[in-house]
Chains A and B, each alone.
Chain A
Amino acid sequence: MSFDMYQENILDHYENPYHRGTLADPTLEHRDLNPLCGDEVRIQAHIDEQNHLTEAYFDGEGCVISLAAASMLMEEVEGKTLEEIKAMDRQDMLDLLGISLTTMRVKCAMLPLRTLEKAIHLYEAK
């Protein structure tokens, strides 16, 4: 029986997430919903003068896939420029997770990245 989706490293991120919590005075922040299930993710981040993301935190309610994705994403984006983050797509997120997902569950995996990218757009639109 194969349960590719729920590999050990995915469950490790779910149980001991990286940077789950709240950031004081975030430079950018956004909260978004997965309409499929009502799950919710909030992402907050600080950025420096060169537009590097220095620190990002997430919080929310969600399944293993969306929360593990959020944890991995928080690790991945630290030190990247906003341009680099905006260039990340679905495949990048799936590569990060390293598992194969059914179509519906891809939406869960994409929620954190979509939320972060929206936060960046909102910040840049200010």
Chain B
Amino acid sequence: MNDTSDTPAQAAFNVEAIRHDFPILARSVNDHPLVYLDSAASSQKPLAVLDAERQYYRTSHANIHRGVYVLSEEATAAYEQAHEQVGDFIHADWDEVIFTKNTTESLNLLAYAWGLSNLQAGDEIVTTVLEHHSNMVPWQQIARRTGATVRYIRVDPQGHLDMEQAAALIGPRVKMVSVAHVSNVLGTINPVDELGRMAHAVGALICVDGAQSIPHMSVDVQALDCDFFAFSGHKMLGPTGIGGLYGKRQLLERMEPFLFGGDMISEVTLEGSSWNDLPWKFEAGTPPIAQGIGLAAAVQYLQNLGMEAVHAYEHSLVSYALEQLRQVHDIEIYGPDADARGGVVAFNLPDMHPHDIASILDQQGVAIRGGHHCAMPLMRSLGVNGTCRASFYVYNTVDEVDTLVEALGETRRILRR
């Protein structure tokens, strides 16, 4: 099925060497080699990340910021260095990067800490129909508490945001525009820089949900001129339990904390407290130290590959996947052409439920997602209950795309369609 002439991006990328760095890829599932096509939900982890966490626990673990002994100082230095590594990765200062649990917590932190003290009745928040629930539900809740209104930019049938409607929606009442950088279903790369200019022109702020962009392309928060940028570690080769929120320094300094407790204070008296410096003001309690160190190792791994090369390789994979999947009889593929999308392909086959397809693919060792992908409003706008979704990362190959396509043929046979 696949002709053996690799594209330049495939030739430049040593995917076999990369696969050796991911021990899980050697396992089999239901007596078939694992074909993992669900990295948009969570990526696998390279040895470098596993080793960094293990090494930390074996040699340097102690709580940070309080002990004056060697272990605590080593742990503190490593955890602070992790902020630097991530800040460097997105072109931010280290103390503008707040470590959180994941994108969801980052967006909740922002919605609560910024929203509750900056929104009032009559204000508007603009987001889009294609958001993951995590960039929709927190804003709906904050709107209910403050009397603000949430408005949604539509998506056209090709999966692009309706930018004319966006221009009409982003008016003087708008205080926050919060948009996914890349759709977790359609893969659409949204014009967040243009939306940022629209937001700033009316005095609003822009928050970019980068959960699906930071693993796959170079992100420069300065160039994007975004006010906030939220992301998860586990989708970018890092551990679970770690994510981040970038914010412009002057905005973070003006924001009240989200969680209160230890390590986030400067001074506590019986009458009240004052807050620690950035980023600790937003990192109450003992933070995810090992996970932060693991995330730094993941960032280093991606930096070694080079994000331009990562993006080019994934683009070549998703182009090939679209080409092959389009040849599957009666398939419906959602979202834009390869040039405007990240490494995600959502599709449906007629009269076959995504869960049945995903179950039968699993029997053949192929892991994809079936369902609404935490984007129920987008499903409604597409007129479906759910879709299948295959998503790709640095360790996937064109052969795995072929396996997927063959397994879909087998699925059709088993379901007698």
Contact = CB atoms under 8 A, between A and B. Distances in A.
A37 B416 contact: no
B49 to A, nearest CB: 27
Contact of B370 (A11, A37, A64): A37
A37 B385 contact: yes
B385 A11 contact: no
A112 B415 CA distance: 21
A23 interface: no
A36 interface: yes
A6 B360 contact: yes
A3 B360 contact: yes
A37 B362 CA distance: 17
A64 B415 contact: yes
A39 interface: yes
Contacts of A5: 359-360, 363
Nearest to A62: B353
Contacts of B353: 39, 62-64
| Interface size band for A | 20 to 34
Contacts, number: 51
B342 interface: no
Contact of B363 (A3, A61, A65, A108): A3
A80 interface: no
Contacts of A62: 353
A105 B371 contact: no
Contact of B416 (A2, A15, A65): A15
Contact of A3 (B385, B386, B414): B414
Contacts of A102: 359, 362
A40 to B, nearest CB: 8
B385 A105 contact: no
B356 A37 contact: no
Interface string B37-64: 0000000000000000000000000000
A102 B362 CA distance: 11
A1 B372 contact: no
A38 B372 CA distance: 7
Contacts of A3: 360, 363, 414
B416 A108 contact: no
Interface string A2-13: 110110000100
The winner among B353, B354, B376, B414 for most chain A CB atoms within 10 A is: B353
A39 B385 contact: yes
A65 B371 contact: no
Nearest to B372: A38
Given A6-B415, A37-B370, A105 B359 contact: yes
Nearest to B385: A38
A38 to B, nearest CB: 5
Interface string B342-362: 000000000001111001101
A65 B379 CA distance: 21
Contacts of B379: 38
B364 interface: yes
B164 to A, nearest CB: 30
Contact of B355 (A11, A40, A65): A65
Contacts of A61: 385
The winner among A11, A37, A65 for most chain B CB atoms within 10 A is: A37
A65 to B, nearest CB: 7
Given A37-B355, A38-B371, A2 B363 contact: yes
Interface string B228-265: 00000000000000000000000000000000000000
Interface in A4-30: 5-6, 11, 15
A5 B362 CA distance: 12
A85 B39 CA distance: 42
A6 B356 contact: yes
Contacts of B355: 37, 39, 63, 65, 105, 108
B363 A37 contact: no
Given A5-B359, A63-B353, 5 more contacts: A15-B416, A38-B385, A62-B353, A63-B356, A105-B355
Interface of A: 1-3, 5-6, 11, 15, 36-40, 61-65, 102, 105, 108
Interface of B: 353-356, 359-360, 362-364, 370-372, 376, 379, 385-386, 414-416
26 contacts: A1-B363, A1-B364, A3-B363, A3-B414, A5-B360, A5-B363, A6-B360, A6-B414, A6-B415, A11-B415, A11-B416, A15-B416, A37-B370, A37-B386, A38-B372, A38-B376, A61-B385, A62-B353, A63-B353, A63-B354, A63-B355, A63-B356, A64-B353, A64-B415, A65-B359, A105-B355
Pick the 9 closest A-B CB pairs, nearest first: A63-B353, A63-B355, A37-B371, A64-B356, A63-B356, A38-B385, A38-B372, A3-B414, A6-B414
